């Protein structure tokens, strides 16, 4: 019987500092055969472990077309993530996964896509964005909100994203500023719905703090989006990844096995889900 907790060794080959608390890591599996056959879907999760420091779930955030490396963005908030921030190029971590369903790429193909991301909620979208930019197909619009300019991540990539994507950035506080040639709105992410036209015949993909998701869903409904065309990632609720610990139970679902991506049609009757 296969050990569900078995990890694959992955070497850190590149580290990029995104802000004071977040690093972007490029990892390479040590096992060549495993590396060659590895695939994941945008929005799926991994479990990353360091011996002696436990493990935690993270979103894959590299392109699905990159067959050499996987990427993960890590915010320093606890023992494991602090240790990860202390590691250097050449160090080894354990990876198991992928877990979950990811974004519904088959259902959203050839449709207008609206991404609404708050804070680190942009991380689970990076894989979809990079994969989209590689194919340059369809239409994508992004609403990206952060507390302030310093909290924004992937700032060095935004200019490339804008070649194929309509990107709208808003900051909760601060003064009007410019990020890679993009003028930033000042205000909560919901204010973008009053300033920017959205196509309710498309699909909306949402990830961010629960309170943000609640008000964003209300805005999407106001604009005419169907419940079945609104998708949310509950990746913040992920735990073991395999449905054993039951900590991720939401109504009749396990986030790690049935999600982390759900349609609002599935979630709207579950009290306190967002």
pLDDT tens digits along 29-66: 999 999 999 999 999 999 999 999 999 999 999 999 99
* Alpha carbon 186 to its chain's center: 23
**pLDDT at position 145, please?**
96
Q: Which of 77, 102, 81 is nearest to 93 (CA)?
A: 81
Tokens encoding 203: 């699909």
CA distances in angstroms from 160 to 113, 166, 266, listed in the order given: 18, 11, 35
Within 10 angstroms of residue 151's Cβ, the number of other Cβ atoms is 18
| DSSP character at residue 184 | P
* Alpha carbon 147 to its chain's center: 17
Q: Which of 204, 184, 200 is nearest to 192 (CA)?
A: 184
Q: Which of 229, 231, 247, 261 is nearest to 45 (CA)?
A: 261
- Total residues found in the chain within this entry: 274
C-alpha–C-alpha distance, residues 18 and 198, integer Å: 29
Tokens encoding 125: 């979208």
Question: Which domains are present in the chain?
Answer: 8-98 (2.40.30.10), 105-267 (3.40.50.80)
Tens digit of each residue's pLDDT, the chain (274 residues): 578 889 999 999 999 999 999 999 999 999 999 999 999 999 999 999 999 999 999 999 999 999 899 999 999 999 999 999 999 999 999 999 999 999 999 888 889 999 999 999 999 999 999 988 877 665 899 999 999 989 999 999 988 898 889 999 999 987 767 777 788 899 999 999 999 999 999 999 999 999 999 999 999 999 999 999 999 999 999 999 999 999 999 999 999 999 999 999 999 999 999 9
C-alpha–C-alpha distance, residues 85 and 25, integer Å: 10
C-alpha–C-alpha distance, residues 128 and 236, integer Å: 18
C-alpha–C-alpha distance, residues 83 and 223, integer Å: 44
**pLDDT at position 109, please?**
84
| Angle at alpha carbon of residue 46, lines to 44 and 41, rounded to 5° | 25
- DSSP helix/strand/coil, 45: strand
**pTM score:** 0.95
Question: Where are the extended beta strands (E) located within 109-241?
Answer: 112-118, 139-146, 166-171, 178-179, 182-183, 185-186, 203-207, 230-233
Contact between 5 and 96 under an 8 Å Cβ cutoff? The reply is yes
Q: Is 54 left (phi over 0), alpha (psi -120 to 50) or beta?
A: left
DSSP characters for 23-39? EEEEEEES-HHHHHH--
> Positive or negative CA dihedral for 64, 152, 247, 269?
negative
**pLDDT at position 137, please?**
60
């Amino acid at each position: 019987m296969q050990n569900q907790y078995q990890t694959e060794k992955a070497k850190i080959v590149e580290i990029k500092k995104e802000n004071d608390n977040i690093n972007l890591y490029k990892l390479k599996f040590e096992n060549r055969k495993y590396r060659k056959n590895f695939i994941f879907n945008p929005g799926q999760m991994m479990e990353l472990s360091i011996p002696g420091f436990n493990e935690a779930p993270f979103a894959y955030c590299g392109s699905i077309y990159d067959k050499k490396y996987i990427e993960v963005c890590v915010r320093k908030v606890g023992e494991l993530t602090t240790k990860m921030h202390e590691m250097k190029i050449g160090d080894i971590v354990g990876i198991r996964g992928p877990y979950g369903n990811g974004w519904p790429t088959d259902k959203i193909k050839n449709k207008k896509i609206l991404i609404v991301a708050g804070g680190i909620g942009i991380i689970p979208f990076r894989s979809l964005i990079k994969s989209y930019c590689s194919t340059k197909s369809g239409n994508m619009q992004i609403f990206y909100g952060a507390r302030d300019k310093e909290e924004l991540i992937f700032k060095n990539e935004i200019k490339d994203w804008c070649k194929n994507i309509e990107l709208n950035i808003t900051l909760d506080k601060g003064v009007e500023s410019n990020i890679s040639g993009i003028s930033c709105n000042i205000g909560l992410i919901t204010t973008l719905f009053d300033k920017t036209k959205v196509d309710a015949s498309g699909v909306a993909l949402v990830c961010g703090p629960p309170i943000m998701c609640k008000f964003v869903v209300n805005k999407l409904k106001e604009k005419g989006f169907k419940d079945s065309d609104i998708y949310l990632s509950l990746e913040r609720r992920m735990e073991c990844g395999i449905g054993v610990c039951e900590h991720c139970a939401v109504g009749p679902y396990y986030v790690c096995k049935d999600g982390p991506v759900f349609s609002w049609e599935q979630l709207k009757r579950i009290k306190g889900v967002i």
